[in-house]
Structure 1
Amino acid sequence: MHPETALLFTIAGAFGAAFLFGFAASKLKMPPLVGYLLAGIALGPHSPGFVGNVELASQLAEIGVILLMFGVGLHFSPGDLLKVRRIALPGATLQMFTAIGLGYWLASSWGWTPAASLVFGLSLSVASTVVVLRVLEDRGLMDSIDGRVAVGWLVVEDLLVVLALVLLPAILSALGAGAAGASPMGRTELITSVALTLVKMVAFIVLMGVVGRRAVPWLLTHVARSGSRELFTLAVLAVSLGVAVGAATLFGVSFALGAFVAGVVISESDLSHRAGADALPMQDAFAVLFFVSVGMLLDPGVLLTQPMKVLATVAIVLLGNTVVATVLMVLLRHPLGASLRIGASFGQIGEFSFILAGLGVSLGVLSEEGRSLILAAALCTIVLNPMLFATLDRLSTWIARHPRLLDRMERQKAPRMAHTDLFETITVGHAILIGYGRVGRTIGDALQRQGVPFVAIEQDRRVVDAMRTIGVSSIYGDATRPGILEHAYPGTARLLVIAAPDPYHARHIIDMVRAKNPTIDIVVRTHSDQEQAMFEQLGVSKALMGERELAFGMAYHSLRSLGVDDDQADGIVEELRGGGRMQTREFSALMPTDLRM
């Protein structure tokens, strides 16, 4: 490869291989990230055939890290974190420190230095944000309480990793790690070094909070008024890269922190959504290069030469992330089934682990063998994650069928109930409402207007407190637990409405209620044709798909705005609702299954 064309060949080879391997991984129902890593292995110096320029790929990957952290900051929401702070803050912090301790212990048992063991433990303690969000989206959990807890947990992990990226060089330098002939500093020098790093970090954050918070949105607003999309995209990239490089040059903090803070500053402006949308293509492209470059550094031979170390590393990830996260959430009074699902989603490591491992190598602390073990563990855990999820799903279902075991494992107090006088006097012929979010509240308002007694089961304690304040009958807890559901008197209820967005919960709740009351009417919320068909096969009274009902409503108002009288518009919508969707039905038959309506 000629030096003058090395960059072009490296980029072309990386994108081409990433596309092929990523497409293959997607077809195999695995995250594309697995394909990107495999593409890097294929292009790396440890595999035969075409070999990309590792040094150039690493430099391009640095841009990927900056844009990745910029995106994390852009979507960072303090409000989302505050909503689940009672679980996410203590849970994520304890889980990370436990995983760090386990990783440190394992590396120390291999004879590694304390500095290398610390980097190794850190790298195994944080789950991949990309993988977790993909799992939540695929399972329809993003809008559920479980999804909010998982996202809050990720935010805490991301913040702790950003802090680690800032402090780690100072701590390792103070300990004399990575420098030939350097001796460890004393406690005073260590504290001084770390304090100086923290002062620089705080100074940078304060400057961005005071000046950047005004200057950056002002700049983007004026660029947006120019009407040029290209200039706006260029401005976003200039801000993200410029702040990252400036932070590293002037304040000595990492590129990652600079990019993260730049994203947070822009996230508070009205242009945050446009900035994210315009930067997303570049972010995705360079993120792919980042994962490919990581794969190029992995020596696949480690799977053959060090299989026991790879297995031990994978075990630490599963133990330190999945098991510890699940146990902590149960101890924090989160339902066991939800805790198992969230714990499963954290049973892998990804992009931040790669960044931490790369930092350890660049500081001369972590060996190439150590980085290869981390990369191999990441590849294995991401591939195994769907199977882990399925296994824990089955375990959750089995435990739910044994109420005594479930109560013993959760050690929860009796469900907190706040019944109104109406519900206390009428426990026959009432309605049970699962979930009191935006959908559930609307249904509850309709039932109240008609004077129909109902009780709502809700997992969010704050929602239950608000319901109690306004006099709505409520039960706090997980409706999949028989002990919770029994307090709603399902055996004498007339109607069950499942307004929560989780189909896995819904099916289990239906089975439990039907066991007590086979003739009860059931209305359930769905998100796809597959879910609707599944619930209809279960014999529910009505399975409503949100997007389809929205389409019917928009169709009705469109017809009315075009002069169609009310009765005729109603008739057309009812015909559509009854299955007479001519073009829609024919068009759907030509579409992939996941795009049908």
Structure 2
Amino acid sequence: MNDLIIDIGLVLIIATILAIIARRLAQPIIVGYLVAGILMGPAGFGLVTNSETIAFLSELGVVFLLFIVGLEINLKRIKGAGTAALLVGLLQVLLTFAAGFALARFLGFNSVTASYIAIILTLSSTVTVIKLYGDKHELNTLHGRVALAILLVQDLVAIIALSLLATQETSTWSFSTILVGIGGLLTIAVLSKLFLDRLFTLVSRWPELLYITSIAWCFLFVIAAQLLGISTAIAALLAGISLSPLLVHHEISARIRPLRDFFATLFFVSIGMTITFSGTSATLIGILALFVILVCPLLIMTVMSIIGFKAKPSFLTSIGLGQISEFSLIIAGAGVQAGLINIEILSITALLAVITFVSSSYFITYDTTVYSRFSRVLRQFEKLGIRHLRLQYGNTSPKPEYIIFGAHRMGMRIINTLRSMKKKVFVVDHDPQVIKKLMKKRIPCRYGDIEDPHIMEQIGIHHAKMVISTIPRFEDNLLLIQRVTVLNPQAAIIVTADHEHEGLQHYEHGAHYVILPQVLSGKHVSTLMQDPISAVIKRKTKYHNALHRAKNNKQRGTHNTYDHRK
């Protein structure tokens, strides 16, 4: 027992130190955990003596991880992702799996192992992408939304893969999986209707009771799975899905997350302990890593180009998904536990995770720079489109007074204000869905982006009195300022920036005004702070009603904008 306590303590201390180092180097924390496992395992210093016990405890990390995944599954997100983005996700999964399976068979693996390798290579890391895109404020961009839609499809595929692959008996997987799937869904539907909502509404009055009831519910499914001889991972996932419709599911997730993080740390460290360099082929790892880093993004970009997306969003989406997933590690671990693949595949998967997590963090950070350098070559992909998205409304030779790049929340309010003033407006956006909405409202617009070298002349930049960009990307705005300054020196230029130092550079290059949304919001809140608290509270109804009016006007297509001062 004392040795076990020492081992767990060493795991947590070393994992913490390396996780801090990983974050300081702008790497995912999981990289730190995996490296900690390598150092403490047989490939390193062999510090842990109870590796089997650590591995057993780490299984709880998988249980809690998938329980929370189930809690956070929202079917409305699938509907809201957009048909084109979901189609990209589906085709990406099919093509990458097929290519990965063919590669694994070519490398000499049998069909079962090749299937595992293919699904391992197909999935990308939701945690890594959300973290890095969030740091760059790009989750709501076109490529950010498409990437999240692809990840959503991949998560659903991972769930199915766990059902099909993570079994204990290869001869009975199909019957037990179908039985559990149907039975699980029926159980979820019946229990949710009958008493789950009432039970958790009752226990939610006491936070401690809500916490322990949620864990007990999870382990009720896990115990049933053990008795039936099926995957505990799927059982935990079904337990989470059964609670996801509840109003308190966010609170349940928040309370269980620390427990999940503790055991998940043990899981990823134990995966690192399985890595052995002696029997692992460096050539094989290199081939698989190149497949993930180069071939997978190439397939995604090809699919997006065929569907009709422009080169830039296609490239930015694809390069952001060039890593394997946390689910890949879970699936590989489940395969080893079921005896379907050997431990070398798990070791290779862990090394791939380290390599691709590190590489993708740099690719996402410098994606715009890479695109700018190879944009001329990458635009050739647009010729693959079976239906080119030539979305445009209005005169083919427009003479607008105001040109707006970006028509999301801020851009749309500017557009509505200018139209209410009877000004001639032309809008450019690289999101097909946004352009379609503008076309329905009969607002002159065009599908395209700032980096298109021909777009300035096509939209009548010579006639514009003012050019406004609501796109916060620094490089795009810098390019816009340079081109407008050359083509129409008399035009006023307004751009957007996330940070003050970027705004200063825009002014130095010729911008006449720089919008800093965060600074403006801070100034407005500072103004509110000068009023009595009672006055702020009383104005809540006015703010609430103003937002309702803005929402209703948006649905009706009218041009009245939300004004917090009304």
Shorter-normalised TM range: 0.7 to 0.9
Paired position in structure 2 for 1:397 = 372
Once the two structures are superposed, residues 145-184 of structure 1 have per-residue CA deviations (whole angstroms, 9 ceiling, x without a partner) of: 211111111110010111011112569713xxxxxxxxxx
Q: Deviations over 1:517-556 (max 9, x none)?
A: 3443232333333443443443322222222211211222
- Which residue number corresponds to residue 234 of structure 1? 212
How much has 1:130 moved relative to structure 2? 1.4
Pairing 1:552–2:523 present = yes
In 1: Cα distance, 2:274 partner to 2:316 partner: 32
Structure 2 residue matching 1:124: 3-state secondary structure = helix
From 443, 446, 456, the equivalent of 2:417 is 446
More divergent stretch after superposition (6-15 vs 258-267):
258-267
**CA-atom RMSD in angstroms:** 3.0
% same residue: 25
On the 8 A contact 2:271/2:346 being kept in 1, the answer is no
Rounded to whole Å, the distance in 2 between the matches of 1:79 and 1:325 is 24
2:345 aligned partner: 370
The verdict on how the C-alpha distance between 1:207 and 1:295 changes in structure 2, with shifts beyond 3 A counting, is same
Query: Which residue is 2:257 aligned to?
Result: 280
In structure 1, C-alpha distance between the alignment counterparts of 2:321 and 2:345, rounded to whole Å: 22
Q: Which deviates more from structure 2 when the two are superposed, residues 445-454 or residues 460-469?
A: 460-469
Counterpart code for 2:420? R
What secondary structure is seen at the aligned counterpart in 2 of 1:219? Answer: helix
> 1:185: which partner in 2?
none
Unaligned runs of 5+ in 1: 175-189, 565-597
> Is the CA contact (8 Å cut-off) linking 1:140 and 1:502 kept in structure 2?
no
Per-residue CA deviation, residues 216-261 of structure 1 (Å, 9 max, x unaligned), is 34333222223xx333333333334444x15624666533333333
1:9 alignment partner in structure 2: 6
Structure 1's 563 and 351: CA in aligned 2 closer, same or farther, altered over 3 A? closer
Q: Number of aligned residue pairs: give it.
A: 535
1:57 counterpart SS class: helix
> 1:330-349 alignment to 2 at 5 Å?
330-349=305-324
Distance 2:456 2:219 in 1: 53
In structure 2, the residue matched to 1:576 is none
Letter of the aligned partner of 1:140 in structure 2?
H
Q: Pick from 274, 278, 294: which aligns with 2:271?
A: 294
Per the alignment, do residues 235 and 90 of structure 1 end up closer, same or farther by CA in structure 2, a change over 3 Å counting? same
Deviation, structure 1 residue 426: 7.0
Assess if the C-alpha contact under 8 Å between 2:322 and 2:360 holds in 1: yes
Compute the TM-score of the two structures, normalised by the length of structure 1.
Answer: 0.81
Q: Which amino acid aligns with 2:531?
A: R
Letter in 1 for 2:341: L
- Taking a change above 3 Å as real, the CA distance of residues 453 and 71 of structure 1, as seen in their structure-2 partners, is farther
Please tell me the residue identity of whatever aligns with 2:452. R
Q: 2:180 aligns with which of 181, 197, 200?
A: 200
Task: Show structure 2 runs of 5+ residues with no match.
Answer: 536-566
Which of 313, 316, 328 is the matching residue for 2:291?
316
Give deviations 1:382-425, integer Å, cap 9, x for gaps.
12223434675334213546897575466763732123xxx789
Q: Distance in 1 between matches of 2:397 and 2:112?
A: 66
- Does residue 254 (structure 1) correspond to residue 234 (structure 2)? The answer is no
CA contact (8 A) 2:306 2:384 kept: no
8 Å contact from structure 1 (residues 524, 544) kept in 2? yes
- TM-score, normalization by structure 2: 0.85
Of 56, 60, 85, which aligns to 1:88? Answer: 85
Q: 1:516 aligns with which of 487, 495, 499?
A: 487
Aligned CA distance change for structure 1 residues 88 and 246 (closer, same or farther; 3 Å): farther
Further displaced range: 114-123 or 271-280:
271-280
- 1:34 and 1:346, CA in 2 relative to 1: closer, same or farther beyond 3 A? same
- Give me the whole-angstrom Cα distance separating, in 1, the residues matched to 2:376 and 2:142: 22
Q: 1:405 to 1:164 in 2, by over 3 A?
A: closer
Task: Decide whether aligned partners of structure 1 residues 171 and 317 sit closer, same or farther in structure 2, where only a CA change above 3 A counts.
Answer: farther
For 1:487 and 1:12, the matched residues in 2 are separated by 65
Q: Which residue of 1 aligns with 2:196?
A: 216
Match for residue 307 of structure 1?
282
User: Post-superposition shift, 1:354?
Assistant: 0.8
Question: Which residue of structure 1 lines up, in the alignment, with residue 333 of structure 2?
Answer: 358
Aligned mates of 2:151, 2:379 — CA distance in 1: 32
Q: Deviations over 1:562-591 (max 9, x none)?
A: 699xxxxxxxxxxxxxxxxxxxxxxxxxxx
